[in-house]
Amino acid sequence: VLSTVAAPLASARPAHEIPVVEDPEGDLDTPTADGWADVPASDVPLTSAASSVPNADDTSIEEVNVQAATTDDRLYLRLEWADATRDVNASEIRGFTDAVAVQFPANRSSRPPIAMGGQDNRVNVWYWGSDVGTQELLAGGAGSTTPFQNPAIETNASYQGSGGNGTWSVVYSRSLDAPSENRTAIDESGDLDVAFAVWNGSNGERAGRKAVSEWYYFPMSGGPGGPPYQTLLWTVAGLAVVAVTAVTAFGIYRAGGGAS
């Protein structure tokens, strides 16, 4: 068991790390661009956000798939999630639209509160909605969002599938240099904290009724890579159970043979 897991465990990465690929070959501008084939994906679990809005705990998106890459001058993120319906029209009665957001600390020196930051520790939010397109926001707590006049990010979205088996894919990109104050600096000064939120319009999700992740991070200064520790620990536990079961069975067999 030890010889089987020792090598991969040595190169394992923490469970909340999302790897960042530097300069992958190919284009990254669209969800179907060929460059994404060389970028590993991380499955990030989502749960209902803690909120006082009605039915806040009734959300339907359980996971978002995240890929990240950098070129010489830009960060690219690709988010993909399963959504049975393509909700793009908010003008209908009780109509709500699909959306997704990425949240970073505006100041990377400390990790802000997960729920849209705090007054002294704000967050830079990259938002894409199927009805409004791209927005960039600054927030210092729930209900305190302020839009930037000119978003510094670009997005490209695609919905694929039908008949209840659809998937949204959204690509975000922004220059590595922070274009102004209160925008997150994207450089190699250490880990970059990141969190995600997804709204399913057909389920009535909007505002504080949303599916959210915990804080994750991008290892901008490099990292161990490899599979997450959590996966390998479960692998170790499974192998240990198999080993113990085999040893116990063999012991019973030996004991039975001696008695006869």
pLDDT tens digits along 167-203: 999 999 999 998 888 899 998 878 999 999 999 999 9
Decide if pLDDT at 225 tops 90. Answer: no
Average of per-residue pLDDT across 49-53 = 90
Decide if pLDDT at 252 tops 60. Answer: no
Handedness of CA 173, 175, 178, 180 (dihedral sign): negative
pTM of structure:
0.81
Partners of 174 in the beta sheet? 75
Decide if pLDDT at 253 tops 60. Answer: no
Residue 105's pLDDT is 96
Residue 240's pLDDT is 46
As to burial, measured by CB atoms within 10 angstroms (0-12 exposed, 13-18 middle, 19+ buried), residue 38 is middle
Decide if pLDDT at 16 tops 80. Answer: yes
Largest CA distance in the chain: 86
Percent of the chain exceeding pLDDT 70 equals 79
Q: What is the Cα–Cα distance from 129 to 167, expressed in whole angstroms?
A: 15
Residue 245's pLDDT is 47
Percent of the chain exceeding pLDDT 90 equals 65
Residue 18's pLDDT is 97
* Mean per-residue pLDDT of the chain: 85
Is residue 136 within 8 Å of 129, Cβ to Cβ?
no
Decide if pLDDT at 24 tops 50. Answer: yes
Average of per-residue pLDDT across 211-228 = 79
Per-residue pLDDT tens over the stretch 69-90: 999 999 999 999 999 999 998 7
Average of per-residue pLDDT across 81-109 = 90
Per-residue pLDDT tens over the stretch 120-169: 999 999 999 999 999 999 999 888 899 999 999 999 999 999 878 899 99
Decide if pLDDT at 241 tops 70. Answer: no
Partners of 104 in the beta sheet? 124
> How confident is residue 30, by pLDDT bands cut at 50, 70 and 90?
very high
Total residues belonging to the chain = 260
Give the type of residue at 50.
Answer: A
Q: What is the Cα–Cα distance from 52 to 198, expressed in whole angstroms?
A: 18
| Among 6-10, 35-39, 68-72, the least confident range | 6-10
